Chain A
Amino acid sequence: MNSKLSAKASDIPILDIDRVSMRFGGLVAVTDLDLDVSDGQFVVLAGSEGAGKTTVCDCISGECEPTNGSVRFRGRRLTRSFGPGVFWMAISIGLITGLLVAAAAVDIDRLWLAVVRRGMVFDRSFTFDSARRRLRSYFRAELALDRLAGKWRVVSADGRDVLVVCDDFEEAKSLKNQLQAAVTARRIGPSTVPNTSDMADAAEPSQRQPPIPDDTLNRLAAGKSRIRIRGWSALLAGWIIGATGVIVIWSRSRGSPHIAARAGIARTFQNPRLFENMTVRENVLVALDRMIPGGSIALLLRTPANHRGEQHAHIKANKILKFVGLGSMADHLACDTSLLDRKRLEIARALATDADLILLDEPMAGLDEKGVAVVMELLHRMKDQGLTLLMTSGSLSFPSDISDKVVVLDRGVKIAEGALTNVRHDLRVKKRPVTNLL
């Protein structure tokens, strides 16, 4: 309401189309169109078939992005801005992608075994702390002791490579330390300094080195640091790919029609696009969607606020249907209605969104005289309610008292603008094919 008042005060037009051009491949639909619509005005966009009227509607409602120029509604463009929501979405989806890629890269199978499963064999309670320790020891290629069937084994961190099996714990422990020293000595990379306690144990010459193949030790030593680099780079790459993907998808859907609708622009279509298999009332209720509060959980539990919203929406839907003259049709299926009713239902839906600007794409096309009169009368009442209307029309043969301004398009170019009577006598209009519709 406030913005409405301030807009009026500063005399900014509610809709400001500035040098808009629209090209579909080689076909130029609209060329450099300028059009201002002020609050409460009824503007008619006239032109013969293929003059670009519907394209203008599409550009305003966000159906398509103009090739050049800008459409401003209440002084601002109707595109989503880059907010913190998008940022965090990109970060978190990127992180998930990164984790997935990293999981694939580091051989998740072994990692899982080392961190989760071997913990069970070892009979220690599972905490985040112990998980972190195991994760670290896995990447440091540390060996571990574990007990199976009463015997002590020296195993690799993930428990897959069993290096030695002993009966005695002390013996197993010192063997482990020896082997650990051997493995650590072979390691390459930043953290090659072996643990000092391991060194001390390894220095004891009492134990003989068990016959472990060199390549096993090499694999244990070398593999992990390589895996670590692979994992981190995969995480980073996945993160970048995921985040970029989110931003690309976001930027492609910036000008989606639902944003224009939520900002206060509703539209009807030349060929009514109803939800055919819903009842007339449900069609209107869909448009009242935003009136009903609550997320999906609230819907399930039917919280009081949600319930009230639902009831209010029903009442409002009935009121709107009565306003357009469909009160008695509320429970019919939309696909069973006549063309006039379909046109009226579309208008009802547009009204239900609580829009300030309603685009009417040929609301009278295909109707007989009686139907045209009904729609005309409805438009009059809508105008009296203070709504701003932009109507496209294939002819100029409507009563002159309803429109505040007429803009005539011919093959995408504006050829006349002004009051209806002036436009009718405009020479350029008379010369063009649109004249035969006068």
Chain B
Amino acid sequence: MSDVKNWFREHWEIFAFVALALAPFGVSSLRGALGGQVTILFIYCILALGLNVMVGYTGLLHLGIAAFFGIGAYTMAILTVPLFPFQMGWLAATVLSIAVAASIGFALGTPTLRLRGDTLAVVTLGFGEFVTASLRNLEQVTGGMKGLNPVPPPGAGVSIMNIDLGTAFVVDPRWFYFLTLSALAGVVWAMKRLENSRLGRAWVAVREDATAAASLGISATQTKLSAFAMSAAVAALAGCLYAAMLSTTADPNAYSFNRSIMILCAVILGGLGSVLGTLVGVTILVGFDTVILPWIDTLLQQLLNHSPEGVLSFGGWRLAMVGLVLVMVMRFRPEGLIPSRQLAAELRGGQQ
């Protein structure tokens, strides 16, 4: 019995992803606007998993993850939009933007290696602001507040079995749903694998005690830099999907500090250093915002159909509710909703 339970605990993601992959065939509303919202939710999940590498595993407080999200989106756009001469295919552009973001993450990591805790947080915060300001002001390159568009859908111009992929992506939102779902599944799989590998252990070791790790032959420099690069790469993947899905980079405010903080809150809410926890955190925080609230609002409007204007809207309360949820969780479950085994021990250990 406990074997089955353990197996399920180890491999929950298989069930979750199979269920999510089948969902659009059963739930008809997933084919419409809701499908789009859920797709965006998946993208934020990928972004949060990227942040989790830095904040969760390696214990480096990173307040600028949205900057790498933006770098991914904008590099993708520059490489694909008709305004620029490159106009690469979707896959090549994605790979290239991930590489660009990873090297920028590496470059950000090099001078900040000796910083930790709040000092590093301030540096990453500054980097985030720097990137958003650049995106806003380098108008000739980034299109300023208009953003870059149109970003072609994945596989534009490629047709398989008489289906033009580009058109298929535009016509049916399920294509994006499946694309982001499989990207998310890939990232989850990679994270679970890294967790139990040499690199994952080195990340945690550096977080726990960098001096002891160094005395065992682990270079804190290399370990931290790899965390920087890995988190930037995963965030950039989210950015690429985001730009392709919206077919625009949107305006630079989409990559501002607010987004970084929202994702950070989601990671902390769900449980630092835990893949499942991160996913749950994003689903609750962002999903509440983008999926549940609009749904409640529509429901309310339908109920109060007779009233002349939609007086009662839930949407105005969203930030208050998010704040309340965060405070409650931090009060009663400081290690997050679904903590990693390690962090749970750390926080509970102090109380014993």
Which A residues fall within an 8 A CB radius of B? 61, 63, 93, 96, 108-110, 112-113, 116-117, 119-120, 125-126, 245, 249, 253, 256-258, 260-262, 266-267, 269, 273-278, 282, 285-287, 289-290, 292, 294, 296, 299-300, 302, 306, 310, 333, 335-336, 349-350, 352-353
Contact = CB atoms under 8 A, between A and B. Distances in A.
Nearest to A346: B212
B188 interface: no
A335 B165 CA distance: 54
Contact of A278 (B190, B205, B214): B205
Contact of A287 (B217, B220, B345): B217
Interface string B213-231: 1111111110000100010
Contacts of A310: 197-198
A299 B209 contact: no
Nearest to A291: B198
25 contacts: A61-B215, A112-B140, A116-B84, A249-B113, A258-B213, A258-B217, A258-B218, A261-B215, A266-B215, A273-B212, A274-B209, A274-B212, A275-B213, A276-B349, A277-B341, A277-B343, A286-B213, A286-B216, A286-B218, A294-B198, A302-B197, A306-B197, A336-B349, A349-B216, A353-B217
B172 interface: no
A299 B205 contact: no
Chain B contact-residue range equals 35 or more
Nearest to A119: B85
B198 A269 contact: no
A277 B226 contact: no
Given A108-B138, A253-B221, A261-B215, A275 B208 contact: yes
A96 B107 contact: yes
Given A275-B212, A300-B190, A300-B193, A117 B204 contact: no
A277 B194 contact: no
Interface in B287-335: none
Given A63-B211, A282-B204, 5 more contacts: A109-B141, A120-B83, A276-B346, A277-B342, A333-B345
B111 to A, nearest CB: 7
B201 interface: yes
Select the residue from A126, A273, A302, A306 with max chain B CB neighbours within 10 A. A273
A120 B205 contact: no
Interface of B: 82-86, 107, 110-111, 113, 138-141, 190, 193-194, 197-199, 201-202, 204-205, 208-209, 211-221, 226, 230, 341-343, 345-346, 349
Given A108-B138, A277-B208, A261 B217 contact: yes
Contact of B349 (A253, A261, A285, A335): A335
Instruction: Tell me the dominant secondary structure on chain A's binding face.
Output: helix
A335 B345 contact: yes
B205 A286 contact: yes
B232 to A, nearest CB: 13
Contacts of B107: 93, 96
A107 to B, nearest CB: 10
Contact of B211 (A108, A257, A353): A257
Contacts of A266: 215-216
A15 to B, nearest CB: 16
B83 A258 contact: no
B169 to A, nearest CB: 24
A298 B141 CA distance: 36
A258 B219 contact: yes
Given A261-B216, A282-B201, A299 B193 contact: yes
B346 A289 contact: no
Contacts of B341: 277
Contact of B214 (A119, A256, A292, A302): A256
B140 A117 contact: yes
B141 A112 contact: yes
